[in-house]
DNA sequence: CGGTAGGGCTAGGGTTCT
DNA sequence: TAGAACCCTAGCCCTACC
């Protein structure tokens, strides 16, 4: 009787996504204060936003895993690196070794010591040969973890495979799948918005090649080129 | 995130408590400068100390009146006393309208009498035999979540090891460490049995480090008194 | 500036409800 | 049972006030 449980409406969810797109994740209060969204989200708290965003991502991850049954296309660029040391975003026994830097200057995104270092780096789109590296993987955290979060490249492949349609998938479908990225890349300030924009661009440009290996290659290239940005 | 959140270790917490005992509250900078604690707390700022102290007190106060967590387990043994804590003006991150109101009932106060003051006078704790702990037995919870309990055994070990003294640690020292337990165990009564088991194991394994059953009894007793209902 | 007190916020684990 | 919505709180950050 106390809490009726307010279900999120499509409008609210859209506003949330737009808000994240505009201000970034973790800026719940900011989003809520933005007059552009405050009207729609007036009955939500910053915590609600955070929780909802989490649910959205969790769902996305699971969705992709569920459909993972589909055999991946044997593409020429099938990543073959396995047994890679998973990156673990969690910090367990962090010993007090690092004094916190006080001069809180710019938020220079710093890599964690245990993140993968992508040496490729440049956001140059001219990358021709998609040579997937072990992007991050990172386990879903010990407890109850069945499997490590799918590798980024696998997720992409999975998405492409599953979305495969006679005449190609539409933008929304792709985006739906790609939404999984923020989760995979979180902790690195890899913003969802940028990814989506970029991917959609790629898609538009290669609409004809849709689910051929070539497109996959392009997508992967794109993803990889974006990763070093954080 | 630049700063991954440094969780306070039992050692740090103990140092903080000792520092407050020695210099008083509000003397964060002083505590930090005290060579006795500076080593342990070197990665903390005076503000951190202040915040941690606040958290400790808040949880301590609330811990006593904490809601009686469901005893769960279909095992009838314990009557399922369910209740909500009367919500008090606590300002968490939520600021929105809060259309939600939940007037739940108060819990049935069994007996909330913990909050033992270990820092000062020793209470007449009659050494009780570590037998009455056979409370909820079954909850083995075997595989799976072992994480939530946060390694109670390690804490104990840590305490005993660190407090190790030529002739054994005195009551105050032990108590200082044990104080941390309620924080770890709170709201997780269902793990209590496991906890006890862990303690017993520790007792067997580290027999040389403490004063035998006598001390363990004290520990158990203390834990017992700190855990609300049962 | 340096320090403390106190309000506020987010992240993440938990819990409740459906 | 899973998923969505909601709760709890540790650790930090921000601002006001000396």
**B117-168: per-residue pLDDT in tens?**
323 323 333 222 222 222 222 222 322 333 323 334 444 444 555 544 333 3
| Partner-chain contact B93 A32, CB within 8 Å | no
Cβ pair B147, B189 in contact under 8 A: no
pLDDT at residue B9 greater than cutoff 70: yes
Q: Residues of B with CB below 8 A from A31's CB?
A: none
Task: Single out the residue of A65, A63, A221 nearest to residue A149, CA to CA.
Answer: A65
Average pLDDT over residues A174-194: 36
pLDDT of residue B25: 87
Fold of B10-64: Arc Repressor Mutant, subunit A (1.10.10)
Confidence of residue B3 (pLDDT cuts 50, 70, 90): low
- How large is the average pLDDT for residues A213-222? 43
User: Quick one: angle between helices B10-23 and B171-178, nearest 10?
Assistant: 120
**pLDDT attached to residue B78:** 32
- Contacts of residue B12 in chain A, CB cutoff 8 Å? 96
Q: Is B93 close to A48, i.e. CB distance below 8 A?
A: no
Angle (CA) B196-B202-B206 rounded to 5° is: 155
Give the distance from CA A116 to its chain's centroid: 16
Q: What local confidence, expressed as pLDDT, does residue B11 receive?
A: 86
Q: How far is the CA of B3 from the C1' of D12 (A)?
A: 9
Distance CA A202, CA A204 (A): 5
Higher pLDDT: A41 or B202? It is A41
Q: Which of A33-37, A121-125, B201-205, B220-224 has the lowest mean pLDDT?
A: A121-125
Q: pLDDT grade, residue B16 (50/70/90)?
A: very high
The DSSP code for B189 is: G
Q: Which residues of chain A neighbour B95 with C-beta distances below 8 Å?
A: 29, 45-46
On the question of pLDDT at A19 being above 70, the answer is yes
| Strand C nucleotides, any atom under 7 Å to a protein CB | 2-18
For the cut 80, the answer to whether the pLDDT of residue A216 exceeds it is no
User: Does residue B90 approach strand D to less than 7 Å at its CB?
Assistant: yes
Are A31 and A67 in contact, with CB atoms under 8 Å apart?
A: no
Across A157-178, average pLDDT: 45
Instruction: Write down the pLDDT at residue B47.
Output: 96
Does A45 contact B7 at a Cβ distance shorter than 8 Å?
no
Smallest CA–CA separation between A159 and chain B, in Å?
28
Residue B136: which of B230, B50, B45, B4 has the closest Cα? B230
Q: What region does B212 belong to: left with phi over 0, alpha with psi -120 to 50, or beta?
A: left
Summarize pLDDT for B208-223 with one digit per residue, the tens: 333 333 344 444 444 4
CB B121 within 8 A of CB B55: no
Domain segments of chain A: what residues? Answer: 10-66, 114-229
Helices (DSSP H) in B27-151: which residue ranges? Answer: 28-33, 35-38, 46-64
CB contact under 8 A, A109 and B2: yes
C-beta of residue B153 within 8 angstroms of C-beta of residue B124: no
Percent of chain A with pLDDT over 70: 23
Average pLDDT over residues A220-227: 44
Q: Which residue is nearest to nucleotide D11 (CA to C1')?
A: B5
Which SS3 state, helix, strand or coil, does residue A69 take? helix
Question: So what's the pLDDT on residue B44?
Answer: 95
Tens of pLDDT, residue by residue over A20-64, are 888 888 999 999 999 999 999 999 999 999 999 988 876 654 443
Query: Is the CA virtual torsion A90, A32, B86, B114 positive or negative?
Result: positive
CATH label, A10-66, candidates 3.40.50.620, 3.40.50.300, 1.10.10.60, 1.10.760.10:
1.10.10.60
pLDDT score at A48: 95
Cα–Cα distance between A117 and A63 in angstroms, integer? 28
Report the range out of A95-109, B1-15, B19-33 with the highest average pLDDT.
B19-33
Q: Which residues does chain B have within 8 Å of residue A112's beta carbon, measured at their own beta carbons?
A: 4
CB B174 within 8 A of CB B223: no
Helix (H, G, I), strand (E, B) or coil at B116: coil
Per-chain mean pLDDT for chain B: 50
pLDDT of residue A30: 94
Q: Among partner residues A43, A45, A100, which is closest to B43 by beta-carbon distance?
A: A100
Does the pLDDT at position A80 exceed 90?
no
**pLDDT tens readout for residues B70-117:** 333 233 333 333 333 333 344 445 545 444 333 333 333 333 333 323
Within 10 A of B119 (CB to CB), how many other CB atoms are there? 13
């Amino acid at each position: 009787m106390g809490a009726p449980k307010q279900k999120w409406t499509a409008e609210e969810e859209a506003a949330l996504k737009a808000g994240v797109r505009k201000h970034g994740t973790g800026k719940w209060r900011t989003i809520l204060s933005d007059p552009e969204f405050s009207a729609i989200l007036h009955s939500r708290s910053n915590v609600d936003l955070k929780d909802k965003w989490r649910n959205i991502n969790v769902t996305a991850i699971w969705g992709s895993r569920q459909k993972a049954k589909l055999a991946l296309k044997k593409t020429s660029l099938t990543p073959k690196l396995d047994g890679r040391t998973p990156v673990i975003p969690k910090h367990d026994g962090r010993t007090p070794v690092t004094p916190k830097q006080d001069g809180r200057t710019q938020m220079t995104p710093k890599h964690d010591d245990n993140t993968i270092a992508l040496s490729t780096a440049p956001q140059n789109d001219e990358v021709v040969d998609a040579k997937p590296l072990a992007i991050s993987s990172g386990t879903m955290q010990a407890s109850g973890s069945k499997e490590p979060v799918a590798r980024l490249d696998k997720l992409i492949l999975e998405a492409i495979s599953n979305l495969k349609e006679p005449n190609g998938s539409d933008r929304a479908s792709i985006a739906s799948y790609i939404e999984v990225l923020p989760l995979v890349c979180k902790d690195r300030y890899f913003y969802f918005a940028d990814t989506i924009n970029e991917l959609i661009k790629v898609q538009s440009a290669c609409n004809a090649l849709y689910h051929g290996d070539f497109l996959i290659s392009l997508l992967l290239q794109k993803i990889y080129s974006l990763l070093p940005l954080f």
